[in-house]
Structure 1
């Protein structure tokens, strides 16, 4: 039986599929908020848990690394044993990690808790798969797009909400509140989300999972410790060589596997690999900025830079990025229909480069930083919305969920690389009082600008889709304009 027939029969027996979507949205939102809620309070956690800046950065990096590894693994297990069952298990893991983080009394326990929370990355492919199996065909692309958009929106909202939560309560509540949301989502998923009868035969191979984990750990450890150990030291060179060898081995094993975690044939499609390359580079810039700009803003002005901002104030300074990203997301559909999604993916990172030029060389006033974050929302907003459209256009309808999930996951991998790289640059040559030197931030933001410029150049490699093909794919998937959701059933 084809996947379309199975989806049709499933949706007929379950007419209230938007209830399922609400549960999935709550699950994705809880995961997305935990990505960014802690970033404005890293300095607070550093002080409370008596650690240094390089170590506390792993509170962010460990979460992104764990999510990068667990996303394809849990998605593949869900295909085999049942997506609803694995969704509940993933939410339980997210809740356990939140509970452990809320009561953590040492940096080691906090990092372990964040690794457990990173298992929540499995929410993405599982939710996409449930949508693909349970929703009417014409609703799939729009629902997947909305769930993917929650990641970017959640990242911005998390930074803004962190301040008021900490001011009214304390930073532990940044974990208690998501814990409550996650537990409610797990109960709702168990009671309201139907178990899909769709199963993918074949065993779950452990070797690809081990190789994926190994090369990512080697790479991130080298990037984060490069300054401390010396970039030319044997340990760093050895880790980088090991990461390269293990990454090649992982690609070879996945390509030959009968049941791969990641379908390399799909990933080799020109429109897919080029768009994913842009996603990786954009992820480096976005997550590193969200991770380190709040710390820059919260640095006491007596240090010669920074504004001594509170957590709430630093979140508000970053608010323009969420506002402009939301506005651009609305406008991107008509613009992509007129100029093409590729044009937006090229223009988006090119615009975002202005952000890093401003942050590196014009950060003496709050209004300058606000302008920079607003520009960032425009640039990355165009890139995110258009990349989703390009991925949908590039793959068969039945691969929409997994392809969109991998694009989002690759952004997360980029984010973990960006956080580790930025930590290494910012913490190099710290001042006697332990604060980073202003030059560390200047060099770090300049490097992120170069990476984002590389994203714009990489976007030029994306094949141009002929308008007739775009219209055909949009008609097939129920998309009125690139990236927009059809709001009602066709009559």
Structure 2
């Protein structure tokens, strides 16, 4: 039997990583449009069912950098397989959940799988030729966001055709297959940085992330000036400062603070934070806008399936932009590609803000959003991976993912507050709430464009001369961070 060529082996590895990332990103967003259905089926309250999203968000935020660092130490392959197994077991428990408490616990287990993204980047860097790494990383980064958008589109048809349990059975099957395939296909990886993880930095990182994200996700219902919100935000700041101090003094830091201070790292993280503010809020609020009854004077009275289809152009364009991102990065540099993507997304938000009375306007806007965010996410992930030593790929990309998640939580919380500040007598948000909210998200993108100017210019001999992915399926999001109030 002929042995597979290096090219064929790379294609197999990419395909396995792609399936795992797709299943992970589907689990992020499949539940967002159907929370009302889950509330009714599990006989719980609206405030309780939102913890199905919040628990996953918190767990993934904690475990993403930790799993990335463990992969840097023990090797990417076994930790990537373990993350897929956690996703599969969590999905199995969720599919069998008999009450909302069990479902929330299952979502916490699924959050352990948040490490699949930084681990996938590490596998690509270990196994692919240097000239192929940037394109492959950009493709995987784009596939994350494609999966998140696809989850919103598919949620309605899955629930209407089958039932909500299949929102977990389908990803469970995908992750189980991906775990077996990863064990068989991905070459055995050698540990990059033999050592250990100190428990105190991991504990402090977990504590400030949980305090911050709970405060942001609950602030619209608690009130921004409430004692609980302010107390958690202050706690997050104090514990985060303690975490940085401990990391600097630790002999075995979880996150190397010197690495985080690299210009190419902190500027990409800043842009990622601002992108997250806009992207994940738009994922949550565009379908809600479309579902608003026409009797309110705006909206289209669409159902879950119809509102999900509004995001279909976003998914398609994100796939296509992921295909061309590697080639564009090779020709004009990652910084220019990020700026191009952000400006395209800014144009899309302008359309949403000023022209949303016809469905075709929303299709145009979501298509532009997909193209813009796809370009920017893919190029940003490539720059992060290329800026750090190979033994810090997992933790660096994991922290970048976390920072985008924090941005998403900020954007969703602010958007919820803006949209629901002035409700109509019917209890529905007024159109002006959405208009002002979309304008606010556009402001975040404008600041992100300006932040790109802070990124270091690539040198003539930098690793920007990379080819596009040598495979057909070249395709992030972090989870939808909160559920907008209606």
**TM-score between both structures, scaled by the size of structure 2:** 0.86
Correspondence for 1:171: 164
Correspondence for 1:212: 205
Query: How many Å apart are 1:201 and its aligned residue?
Result: 2.0
Matches within 5 A, 1:324-339: 324-339=317-332
Correspondence for 2:362: 369
- Any conservation in 2 of the 1:46–1:53 contact (CA below 8 Å)? yes
Correspondent of 1:461 among 441, 454, 457? 454
Correspondence for 1:5: none
Correspondent of 2:120 among 107, 127, 137? 127
- Any conservation in 1 of the 2:137–2:378 contact (CA below 8 Å)? no
Could you say if the C-alpha distance between residues 316 and 12 of structure 1 is closer, same or farther in structure 2, counting changes exceeding 3 Å?
closer
- 1: CA distance, partners of 2:409 / 2:172: 23
Query: How many Å apart are 1:154 and its aligned residue?
Result: 1.2
Correspondent of 2:25 among 7, 27, 32? 32
Structure 1 gap segments, 5+ residues each = 1-10
- Any conservation in 2 of the 1:144–1:404 contact (CA below 8 Å)? no
- Any conservation in 2 of the 1:431–1:437 contact (CA below 8 Å)? yes
- 2: CA distance, partners of 1:138 / 1:347: 23
Could you say if the C-alpha distance between residues 348 and 135 of structure 1 is closer, same or farther in structure 2, counting changes exceeding 3 Å?
closer
- 2: CA distance, partners of 1:339 / 1:16: 29
Secondary structure at 2:155 match in 1 = helix
Correspondence for 2:150: 157
> Which stretch shows the higher mean deviation, 174-183 or 48-57?
48-57
Correspondent of 1:485 among 462, 465, 469? 469
Query: How many Å apart are 1:178 and its aligned residue?
Result: 0.6
- 2: CA distance, partners of 1:12 / 1:316: 40
> Which stretch shows the higher mean deviation, 184-193 or 233-242?
184-193
Report 1 or 2 for greater relative contact order, CA contacts < 8 Å, sequence distance ≥ 6: 2
Query: How many Å apart are 1:176 and its aligned residue?
Result: 1.0
- Any conservation in 1 of the 2:137–2:381 contact (CA below 8 Å)? no
Query: How many Å apart are 1:397 and its aligned residue?
Result: 5.5
Q: Does 1:306 align with 2:272?
A: no
Correspondence for 1:296: 289
- Any conservation in 2 of the 1:129–1:402 contact (CA below 8 Å)? no
Matches within 5 A, 1:38-437: 38-50=31-43, 55-396=48-389, 399-400=392-393, 402-428=395-421, 435-437=428-430
**TM-score between both structures, scaled by the size of structure 1:** 0.85
Could you say if the C-alpha distance between residues 65 and 304 of structure 1 is closer, same or farther in structure 2, counting changes exceeding 3 Å?
farther
Secondary structure at 1:469 match in 2 = coil
Query: How many Å apart are 1:110 and its aligned residue?
Result: 3.1
**Cα deviation per residue 1:413-457 (whole Å; 9 max; x = unaligned)?**
322333344344445566676654545434433332222222122
Query: How many Å apart are 1:94 and its aligned residue?
Result: 0.9
Could you say if the C-alpha distance between residues 111 and 453 of structure 1 is closer, same or farther in structure 2, counting changes exceeding 3 Å?
farther
- 2: CA distance, partners of 1:270 / 1:454: 18
Structure 2 gap segments, 5+ residues each = 473-486
Secondary structure at 2:461 match in 1 = helix
- 2: CA distance, partners of 1:459 / 1:243: 27
